[in-house]
Amino acid sequence: MAKKNLYFLQIHFCKRPAFRPAPACFDPVTRREPAVMPPSRCDDASFLAVKIITVIFTGAFLLVLFLLCTREPAPAPSQPAVGRTVYGGYGGQGVAVLLFHAVGGASAGPDTISPEDLEATFQLLKDCGYVPIDLNRFHDFLEGKAGVPARAVLLTFDDGYRDVYEYALPLTEKYRFPAVAFAVTKWFDPYPRPEASRSHLSAGEAKELLVSGLWQIAGHSYEGHRLAAGPGGVYRPYLLTRTWKPAENRFESEAEYKARVWSDIVLDRAALKRIGVAEPLDFAYPYGAPDPGLIQILKEAGYVYLYTNEPGLNKPGQDPSRIFRITAGRHPHETMALLAWYFSSN
């Protein structure tokens, strides 16, 4: 790959690759082409060009990141104009909802961040002036009832893995950062827990998150966070497709599909209420995939704020069934670069 990139730069800056014979050079004295070609300086020139461009782009990126991190937010007006929504700081650019999944060792999957990198991310959020807000304030912000600080973020963790309790809870307590766990709630039930590859939150651990005063638990389906084969053999999220009924050699009907999804959502909300969530209002689509039929069922069941995996900032008045989330990087500086880009481009 490095050789290909160097070849491209040689073509761009020297108009020919270094390893090909140089074209004949015109001699201004004899006014003829020399019999022996002088050595090409393209190698040295292209190498120098690569170094210069690398230094310039690296320096520019670091400078932009530094300026975005250290710039003071614009002061919010003490008496906002009547009828004008004040989002808070930087012209009201909105709230960034950060999406994490598991917290674990370096050998874990691509959706896992190590405890050390999660803490480094929290430290950078603090150092760069980002302000984590809780779920209630986020609701008020979306409804236009309250403003938020500049660079406001909402921290969310999907799937309800036990490592959120083991690693993320102590870090949120250390930094006093509020957060939300979108849990697959079948794991709250007391029956034997057939863990596949990762342990999930138990009901007791979920209650401890709530008792901390920093965490809120929200819905992510009861047992619908999986794929199922639908018509045509296409695998889709379990809550979005009609499943195959092998005993009857057919796919379920539309009515059966709606009844199954309704049952899952009702069980999900009941499990949340049993651990102490008074009125579950927030739900993250499994695999981040919204669907008009699923949205209707979720709203009828009582959910209001529905979270996608689509990136972007959230603002008052937007459709609450399509809340944007920015997937956090596995490394702290990836996340900070994403936040800097979204806040600077809106």
- Which residue, among 40, 53, 139, 45, has the nearest Cα to 97 in the 3D structure? 139
Q: What is the tens place of the pLDDT at every residue in 264-299?
A: 999 999 999 999 999 999 999 988 878 888 999 999
Position 233 scores a pLDDT of 66
Q: Among 46-60, 83-97, 167-181, where is mean pLDDT lowest?
A: 83-97
pLDDT digits (tens, 9 = 90+) for 197-238: 568 898 999 999 999 999 999 999 888 766 666 666 666 677
Degrees, nearest 5: CA angle 306-308-310: 145
**186 vs 61, more confident:** 186
Return residue ranges of the chain for CATH 3.20.20.370: 93-190+198-344
Longest pairwise C-alpha distance within the chain: 95
In order, the DSSP letters of 55-102 are HHHHHHHHHHHHHHHHPPPPPPPSSPPTT-----STTT--BEEEEE-E
From the number of C-beta atoms within 10 Å of its C-beta (0-12, 13-18, 19+), residue 40 rates as: middle
Cα atoms in the 13 Å half-sphere on the side-chain side of 206: 30
Distances (CA, A) of 297 to 290, 325, 333: 12, 22, 39
Q: What is the mean pLDDT of the chain?
A: 77
User: Of the candidates 133, 169, 168, 173, which has an alpha carbon nearest to the alpha carbon of residue 153?
Assistant: 133
DSSP 239: G
For the segment 61-76, the average pLDDT, to the nearest whole number, is: 52
CATH architecture, domain 93-190+198-344: Alpha-Beta Barrel (3.20)
For the cut 90, the answer to whether the pLDDT of residue 35 exceeds it is no
How do residues 115-165 score in pLDDT, each as one tens digit? 999 999 999 999 999 999 999 999 999 999 999 999 999 999 998 888 999
User: Strands 227-229, 235-237: parallel, antiparallel or unpaired by DSSP?
Assistant: antiparallel
- The conformation of residue 108, written as its DSSP 8-state character, comes to S
Nearest Cα neighbor of 215 from 152, 158, 156, 274 is 156
| Listed residue (338, 306, 312) closest to 324, CA to CA | 312
